[in-house]
Amino acid sequence: MTGPLSADAVRTLSRSCGFALAGLARAEALDPGPLRRWLDAGYDADMVWIRRKVDERLDPTKVLPGARTVLALGIPYHHVGASPVARYARGRDYHYAHKDRMKTLRKRLVELAPGIETYACVDNGAAMEKVWAERAGLGWIGKNGCLINPTWGSWITLSVMFLDREVDAFDQPHGNLCGNCDTCLHSCPTDAFPSPGVVDARRCLSYQTIENHGAVPEELRPKLAGHVFGCDVCQEVCPFNRRPIDPGDARFEPRPIGTMSADELAGLSEDDFEALAAGTALVRARYDGIRRNAVLALGAARRRAARPLLERLSRDDSDLVREAALWALARIR
User: Which positions are catalytic?
Assistant: 123
Beta carbons of 72 and 160 less than 8 angstroms apart: yes
Distance from the Cα of residue 157 to its chain's centroid: 7
Query: 273 Cβ partners below 8 Å, 6+ apart?
Result: 257, 287, 290
Which amino acid, residue 189?
P
Ramachandran area for residue 86 (φ above 0: left; ψ -120 to 50: alpha; else beta): beta
| Buried-exposed string 185-214: b where 16+ CB fall within 10 A, e elsewhere | beebbbebbeeebebbbbbbbbbbbbbbee
CA distances from 73 to 134, 147, 243 (A): 11, 12, 22
CA distances from 25 to 132, 155, 216, 320 (A): 7, 22, 40, 45
Biggest CA-to-CA distance, the chain: 73
Secondary structure of residue 70 in the 3-state scheme: strand
